Amino acid sequence: MYIPASLPVHVRPEMDRMAEYIPGESLEAFSSRTGIPIHQLVKLNSNESPYPPAPAVTHALGNHAFYNNYPDTNSTDLRSALATYTGVESKHIVVSHGSNELINLLWHIFLSVGDNIICCPPTFSLYTFITTFCGAYVLEVPRTEGYEVDVEGILAALTPETKLIVLCSPNNPTGNPLCEEDVLALLETGRIVMVDEAYVEFSQQPRGLAHLVPQYRNLVVMRTFSKWAGLAGLRIGYGIFPEWIVTYMKRAQCPFEVNVAGHIAAIETLHQLDYTLANVQRIVEERERLFTLLSHQPYLEPLPSQGNFILARIREEEIRMDELKRVVESYGILLRYFNHPYLRNFVRVTVGLPEHTERLALAFSKIENR
Ligand SMILES: Cc1ncc(COP(=O)(O)O)c(C=O)c1O
């Protein structure tokens, strides 16, 4: 094979500024690293649901007879079920291959090379990766001491190149929700205000801000079936957009991105809402037990959370992060540790089943008796 010594093509320069996004470790990778079999592991590192979807969902998936055909690229039935669920007309709704896909598309629609977004760390780090991918920049306006969004700080940071203000509610990983007045104040800037509501079903305002979208030309709300509905593996998300942005999202999205299985599972989940929301309620109750457990450890300071996860600061004067990690991992438990400067000595724990909280308690008792 002929390979020229130097190629006449180069990658875009921003690719060299871009690091790879590192998600929570998979069961497979953890198992081969530690030698603990997969069936003995407790996965509390990616905010997935510990509950499988309703039996009617798996039944419908097994009974579908047309996997040989492409899906309905307009997602008409799913968008109409989502209109009933969200209370917003389906003309505002775009369905996607996980909400990550929507973030990627929205960013590419609005950001040209040299533009910027405003982000409020600590928050979901994918926003930064995709900004760099677009050749744009992140202006960081850190959260206040209580992890609230600093509205004054955002207003002061705006530049003519600012296209997007990115908010997350409840925020991953701090778990606190946004307050509506802050969002209304930021909408006044005329920038696109994106509110990521991936965890809204676990919060005290489970309807979120979707109902406001039809009243504003610059408000976007992102949602997902990955967390509350136990469908992370099927990759299905949706967004609620002003109509003029919907037309651009449709141009930007490749056809058939949401597969047939994703459509079936999401529609059936919305038909089985009582079943799925009962599991959400179980997770909310378990969150209380987990919070109590974490707050009883002298080396942890958990933050109150309205998501299906709890962030805790590790008191490094009591225990080193790598020591905590070593003991917890020896019990087959996967947690999320960060290397981001804002989260250097924090650990995030996804809320699991009661027996998962108990396994964690066992690991903590080992630390206590060291
Ligand atoms: C805040 C936030 N937004 C979006 C996502 C991505 O969700 P999806 O699985 O729908 O791509 C996640 C996943 O962890 C998240 O934490």
Q: Please state the length of the chain.
A: 370
pLDDT at 201: 98
For the CA atoms of 321, 322, 327, 329, the dihedral, rounded to the nearest 10 degrees, stands at 100
User: Average of pLDDT values for 8-26?
Assistant: 90
Ligand 1: which residues within 6 Å by Cβ?
47, 98-100, 124, 168, 172, 196, 198, 224, 226, 232, 237
User: Average of pLDDT values for 153-163?
Assistant: 98
Q: Atom 3 of ligand 1 has which residue's CA nearest to it?
A: 198
195: three-class secondary structure by DSSP: strand
Q: Atom 7 of ligand 1 has which residue's CA nearest to it?
A: 99
Q: Any alpha helices (H) in the chain, and if so which ranges?
A: 27-34, 55-63, 76-86, 98-110, 126-133, 151-157, 180-187, 243-252, 260-271, 273-295, 321-330, 354-368
Number of H helices, E strands in the chain: 12, 13
Task: Say yes or no to pLDDT of 28 above 90.
Answer: yes
Q: Give, for ligand 1, the residue of 49, 99, 200 to mutate: max count of ligand atoms closer than 8 Å to Cβ.
A: 99
User: Average of pLDDT values for 342-351?
Assistant: 96
pLDDT-based confidence at residue 228 (cuts at 50, 70, 90): very high
pLDDT at 21: 87
Task: Say yes or no to pLDDT of 3 above 80.
Answer: no
Task: Say yes or no to pLDDT of 106 above 80.
Answer: yes
CA 370 – CA 366 distance, rounded (Å): 6
HEC sequence for 222-280: EEECCCCCCCHHHCCEEEECCHHHHHHHHHHCCCCCCCHHHHHHHHHHHHCHHHHHHHH
Q: Which residue has the tokens 């909408």?
A: 187
Q: Which residue has the tokens 């457990």?
A: 293
CA-based torsion, 270, 87, 205, 171: positive or negative: positive
Cα(101) to centroid(ligand 1), Å? 10
Cα(187) to centroid(ligand 1), Å? 23
Q: Give, for ligand 1, the residue of 224, 234, 236, 259 to mutate: max count of ligand atoms closer than 8 Å to Cβ.
A: 224
Task: Say yes or no to pLDDT of 112 above 90.
Answer: yes
Cα(349) to centroid(ligand 1), Å? 16
User: Average of pLDDT values for 307-324?
Assistant: 95
Q: Give, for ligand 1, the residue of 101, 126, 174, 348 to mutate: max count of ligand atoms closer than 8 Å to Cβ.
A: 126
CA 86 – CA 149 distance, rounded (Å): 25
What does the DSSP assignment read for 312-326? EEE-TTT--HHHHHH
Atom in ligand 1 nearest the alpha carbon of residue 23: 14
Q: Give, for ligand 1, the residue of 227, 259, 351 to mutate: max count of ligand atoms closer than 8 Å to Cβ.
A: 227
Atom in ligand 1 nearest the alpha carbon of residue 96: 10
Task: Say yes or no to pLDDT of 119 above 80.
Answer: yes
Task: Say yes or no to pLDDT of 19 above 90.
Answer: no
pLDDT at 138: 97
Cα(155) to centroid(ligand 1), Å? 26
Report residue 94: phi and psi, to 5°. Answer: -120, 130
**To the nearest whole number, what is the mean pLDDT of the chain?**
96
From 301, 282, 280, select the one nearest 291 (Cα to Cα).
301
User: Average of pLDDT values for 5-9?
Assistant: 85
Q: Give, for ligand 1, the residue of 100, 107, 171, 343 to mutate: max count of ligand atoms closer than 8 Å to Cβ.
A: 100
Task: Say yes or no to pLDDT of 2 above 80.
Answer: no
* Angle subtended at Cα 335 by Cα 330 and Cα 340, rounded to the nearest 5 degrees: 125
User: Average of pLDDT values for 327-356?
Assistant: 95
pLDDT at 1: 63
AA identity, residue 297 = Q
pLDDT at 303: 98
Name the pairing type of β-strands 333-334 and 42-43: parallel
Atom in ligand 1 nearest the alpha carbon of residue 172: 1
Cα(249) to centroid(ligand 1), Å? 18
The two tokens of residue 356 are 């998962």
Cα(49) to centroid(ligand 1), Å? 13
**How does pLDDT run across 66-81, given as a tens digit for each residue?**
999 999 999 999 999 9
Contacts of 186 (CB under 8 A, 6+ apart): 151, 154, 165, 167, 193
**What pTM was computed for the model?**
0.96
The two tokens of residue 338 are 């960060």
Q: Which domains are seen in the chain, by residue range?
A: 13-51+275-368 (3.90.1150.10), 55-272 (3.40.640.10)
Atom in ligand 1 nearest the alpha carbon of residue 226: 9
Cα(103) to centroid(ligand 1), Å? 9
First to last CA, the chain: 60
Task: Say yes or no to pLDDT of 339 above 90.
Answer: no
Cα(231) to centroid(ligand 1), Å? 12
**How does pLDDT run across 133-148, given as a tens digit for each residue?**
999 999 999 999 999 9
pLDDT at 223: 98
Cα(99) to centroid(ligand 1), Å? 6
- Cis peptide bond upstream of 121, omega within 30: no
